[in-house]
Amino acid sequence: MPAPKLAQPPARIQIGSPAPMVDCGRFPAKRTVGDRVIVGADIFRDGHDVLRAVARYRSPGSSTWQEVAMRRVDAHLDGDRWEGSFEVDAGGRWTWTVEAWTDSFATWRSEIERKIAFGEKDLSSELSEGVALLQRAAQRTKNDADKRLMEQAAALLGDATAPEPERREAALHSMLLEAVQRNPDRSESTTLEHQLQIDVDRERARFGSWYELFPRSWGGLTGVAEQIPELAELGFDVLYLPPVHPIGVTNRKGANNALVAAPGDPGSPWAIGDATGGHMALHPELGTIADFEALVATANQQGIEIALDFAIQCSADHPWLTEHPEWFNRRPDGTLKYAENPPKKYQDIYNVNFDSEDWRELWDALLEVVRYWCERGVTIFRVDNPHTKPLAFWEWLIEEVRKDYPDTLFLAEAFTRAAMMRQLAKVGFNQSYTYFTWKSSKHELIEYVTELASGGMQDYYRPNFFVNTPDILTEELRQGGPPKFASRLVLGATLSPTYGIYSGFESFERTPVRAGSEEYENSEKYEIKQRALTGPLLALISRMNAIRRANPALQHLDNIEFLGTENDALIAYAKRSGDNTIIAVVTLDPALAQEGVVVVPAALGLAPVFTVTDLLSGESFDWRMGRNFVRLDPYRVAHLLRVS
């Protein structure tokens, strides 16, 4: 078989397994502004030549490449994994690649070193090779000082009358190597076959504390605005509002999800739309658009962002049902098909039909809804059940919104199959709900958080550890009472950089509508409550939020390391960022005192003996590498220890 007919011979250098990379580069990895991105690749070639490599990167909108040197990360094993890093200092989509080349001069120098070490006497031929390499290097060098150094070295190496030791010393001089490497020959370099991308978001995509409330239970939008200063004092970064739109009358649900509403029942906010408007209207009892914009402004002044629910569904009274009947599913007999997920039935809600022949106009209408609220100051959307809509739609919509509103964030409320949850994150959702709510044992928590933090998902999936929601009252909270509320708060707030609570959590609300149900009795989804920011857990919530803000280690996910406790009723883990190290120990038993040890491994990089301060109690203790005794009980559910 004849040799392949190529204009250039095949590349000798191989570059593979680049990271971070999501689905072979189909989707960008995710980072936040200020992160130092570590990029890596396997780089090797046939033979024993010395290689050099750089990571090249380009900021959003820039045509100029910057680069940083890459180094072998397992050089002691003569391995092939190389890494480099750069800081992403602006939001948007960054591009990066890897370029590698053979360092002919370093290869020649290494050969000289080895021959000298083995006692070879005559290196005249080898030195002549060095002369040729230096001459070529001098020709391509623009720096005058480097050029003079190379020319002088070439002259000495080529001078047969000069003493051999002097010529060898010149050949191996470190300054000469540095000069040549500052002016490399990349004419036959190899680059990654495809450039890779990184989506860089603002910090709130990675770190924040959420509070969820129903405005109708707080006196409408003006009543909510009055709570903003206290929410800010409690340390919340995001205030999430369920749908604030008009609520349909047809098939309206009553208290506790009753099929027939009694007079005065307000209905579910997720049954969106009536004769006054749909997704771009406000429920008149909540206030006006001016009230909404005032709420946003008040929140922003206090450092709080407003997150709004985006639920793609309609009541039977939504204007779209008459204006665009083709957007909805009908049975063969012509009746509308309401939403259901047996055994759950939502007789007051109708899903839109994404298979409609008029799907393009439907997509545009939904984009218009999101843009409408962006124009009124909404920066975050909590998306209801995104897993029941096409992935292609979400990828398109998020990209379109962020063209005009690049700081907009989207949270996927999808408690569904793992593959779908992961894919939603890949197509653009900046945060995602998780299975944390149902992970209760030590083994479950360690396995799940490890998967999120270091199982590959860390490059695209940002968890939001809501400890409860209006739909989820777990058995742990129902049975565990106040101690379990406290421990779940600490776990959610320290395991994940982003966590949230739904109002009522601070007051230990835990009565189910019936035994074994995760639905609350007298659920706020179907009735108006009289809410206020009171409750015995508020002091701990405030303290936790302050601790999170003051300790960078708690603002990241991929820095977690679980520690041994020798007691499955205790879970311990460490997080480290720079010189900030936090060791958390939390009891999983809401009823009994539990004792054990926390095993601090040498790999954590701490001193043999060190002082820790409990950020919850203010006490200080002497700890050491190895085993450290701990005791927790229902009245003291956690230690949060900062290493001094």
Q: Tell me the three-class secondary structure of 117-169, residue by residue.
A: HCCCCCCHHHHHHHHHHHHHHHHHCCCHHHHHHHHHHHHHHCCCCCCHHHHHH
The catalytically annotated residue of 35, 146, 199, 413 is 413
Q: Measured between alpha carbons, how far is 481 from 586 in angstroms, rounded to an integer?
A: 16
87 catalytically annotated: no
Instruction: Give the relative orientation of helices 174-181 and 124-140 as an angle to the nearest 10 degrees.
Output: 40
Contact between 107 and 185 under an 8 Å Cβ cutoff? The reply is no
- CA gap 412, 351 in Å, rounded: 18
Active-site residue among 99, 348, 384, 527? Answer: 384
Residue 28 is encoded by which pair of tokens? Answer: 């960008």
Distances in whole angstroms, Cα of residue 96 to Cα of each of 102, 134, 289, 426: 21, 32, 43, 18
Tokens of 25: 């580069």
CA distance 519 to 305: 28
The torsion angle over the Cα atoms of residues 186, 189, 194 and 197, rounded to 10 degrees, is -40
Partners of 176 in beta bridges: none
**Contacts within 8 Å (CB) and 24+ apart, 599-602:** 599/563, 599/564, 599/565, 599/566, 599/626, 599/627, 599/628, 600/563, 600/574, 600/624, 600/625, 600/626, 600/628, 601/561, 601/563, 601/625
To the query of whether residue 384 is one of the catalytic residues in this protein, the response is yes
As a whole number of angstroms, the distance between CA 382 and CA 412 comes to 6
Q: Kindly tell me the burial class for residue 355, based on how many C-beta atoms sit within 10 Å of its own C-beta (0-12, 13-18, 19 or more).
A: exposed
Name the residue among 263, 262, 268, 264 with its Cα closest to residue 248: 268
**Cβ neighbourhood burial of 514 (10 Å; 0-12, 13-18, 19+):** exposed
φ/ψ of residue 48, rounded to 5 = -125, 20
Identify whether the C-beta of residue 182 lies closer than 8 Å to the C-beta of residue 146. yes
Contacts of 192 (CB under 8 A, 6+ apart): 15, 18, 41, 97, 98
First to last CA, the chain: 69
Burial group, residue 438, by CB count within 10 angstroms (0-12, 13-18, 19+): middle
Amino acid making up residue 272: I
Q: What is residue 440's DSSP assignment?
A: -
Structure tokens at 161: 């009358």
- Alpha helices per DSSP H over 158-242: 164-171, 174-181, 220-233
Catalytic residues: 384, 413
